[in-house]
Amino acid sequence: MKVVVALTTHGSTDVIIFEADVTKLERDGVVALYRDGISTEWCGREGSRSCPPFNHPPFMARVLEAWAFLGQLSGLPMRFWLRLSCAIADAGSVALLARILRRHLGEARARPALLWFALSPIAVLVSGFHGNTDPIWLFLALLAIDLLEERRPVWLVGAAVGAAMSIKIVPVLLIPVVVLSLPAARHRVAFGTGLAGTFLVGSLPVLLQAPTLVGMRVFGYSSQSGSWGLSLLSVVLEARPALAWLGEAYLRYGKGLSLALVLGASLWPRPRLDTVFFHAGLVMLLFLSVIPGFGVQYLVWPVPWVVALGSRVTALYFTAATAFLVAYYSTAAGTFPWYLANSLARPAWTVPVILLGLACWTVVCAITLRYGRRLAAERLVAR
């Protein structure tokens, strides 16, 4: 289904931006892409809205070039190869999750969870239609967790996390969980060596050419604020004179607050090797609950952990997230079925979409609390 959708649609705004990135890369090089950003019909030109600068790790520039090369070789557009890669990553995630869930849930409970994951409508919409790299780094994060739980060499775990961070920087959130679960300092050194080596090698030579620029773009990036959860409520508060200071404070310091909360969740309860999977789920869910910026493709992040909570919770999340995504893409495309959902040309954040987003965010928050209670209970049992 994902391959059919990828073959017959253009995708979302992210696909347009990636296509413009490739044009800029081929013309001016990677450093210019980080420095100047891009220009399209809808953004980056005088009098139009601004496009975000290239904020992906340097390795992604090489991946974009590879997808463009495959497009030239096959006659199929680059956007197809982008989304095919996501579909392949999803298949790999099914295989990894099968191993992980059987260890934690047993064969009987793992089967329905795997079926939910394999048939996820969220994955069909994001991997098949949207066109971004979140399913790829998620596969690599699950690989790191599986390697750790299988007691593989710790430097391999670090290499898997470094590879995930080479696709998107989000997996940096998992570093405290892994480090705190390791039993000895030498294991932490091996993990750090594997991670740093993989990320640095994948980032060369761009990281040497413009280290400050790359660091600012990649680690300083904040996605669109004011459209999800607390950031949306902060915008509402800003419109009320008595509470405007509260909304302004969150919009200014929300990113730091989010990272602090995630670090706190990593520290307590302290992760063990046999709870790393669930700790990673708590971190992903908590970050999605409090994150000040948002992109609809982020809704794939918690899926591997939501399915582990059972069919009722999974059905609730899938329903809320799918309704939100369908409304968002339908509004951005202006029609159904979609071919191109370009939110730059047609604003997608209408009142119905925002309300469905708030409902989805509420579900995410509830699942986050449930995960936290589960980990706390496991800690008490371990004592």
pLDDT of residue 292: 79
pLDDT of residue 205: 93
pLDDT of residue 132: 95
Cα–Cα dist 139/245, whole Å = 40
Tell me: the pLDDT tens digits for 312-359?
999 999 999 999 999 999 999 998 889 999 988 888 888 899 999 999
Mean pLDDT score of the chain: 89
Main-chain phi, psi angles of 43, to 5 degrees: -150, 160
Position 382 confidence tier, pLDDT thresholds 50, 70, 90: very low
Cα–Cα dist 52/343, whole Å = 14
pLDDT of residue 275: 83
Residue 176 confidence (pLDDT) above 60: yes
Task: Calculate mean pLDDT across residues 166-184.
Answer: 93
pLDDT of residue 197: 96
Tell me: the pLDDT tens digits for 371-381?
888 777 765 43
Question: Do residues 180 and 270 touch, judged by C-beta distance below 8 A?
Answer: yes
Task: Calculate mean pLDDT across residues 159-174.
Answer: 95
pLDDT of residue 383: 43
Cα–Cα dist 9/23, whole Å = 20
Task: Calculate mean pLDDT across residues 210-215.
Answer: 92
**How many independent structural domains does the chain possess?**
1
User: Tokens for 296?
Assistant: 């609809």
pLDDT of residue 220: 78
Task: Calculate mean pLDDT across residues 281-291.
Answer: 90
Domain, as residue range, for 43:
2-382
User: Tokens for 205?
Assistant: 């030579």
Find the DSSP H helices in 182-275.
185-203, 206-209, 211-219, 229-238, 244-267
**Residues near 100 by beta carbon (within 8 Å), at least 6 away in sequence:** 142, 145, 146, 149, 277, 304
Q: Which of 140, 177, 15, 142 is nearest to 83 (CA)?
A: 15
Please report which helix (H) or strand (E) contains residue 281, including its range. helix 276-290
Cα–Cα dist 150/276, whole Å = 12
Main-chain phi, psi angles of 272, to 5 degrees: -120, 165
Lowest mean pLDDT among 58-72, 176-190, 248-262, 307-321: 248-262
pLDDT of residue 317: 97
Tell me: the pLDDT tens digits for 81-110?
999 999 999 999 999 999 999 999 899 999
- SS3 state at 337: coil
Is the preceding omega at residue 269 within 30 degrees of 0, hence cis? yes
pLDDT of residue 233: 78
Residue 48 confidence (pLDDT) above 80: no
Lowest mean pLDDT among 161-165, 237-241, 371-375: 237-241
User: Tokens for 371?
Assistant: 């995960």
pLDDT of residue 380: 42
Residue 297 region by backbone torsions, left for phi larger than 0, else alpha for psi between -120 and 50, else beta: alpha
Is the preceding omega at residue 337 within 30 degrees of 0, hence cis? yes
- SS3 state at 276: helix
pLDDT of residue 381: 39
Residue 244 confidence (pLDDT) above 80: no
Question: Do residues 348 and 332 touch, judged by C-beta distance below 8 A?
Answer: yes
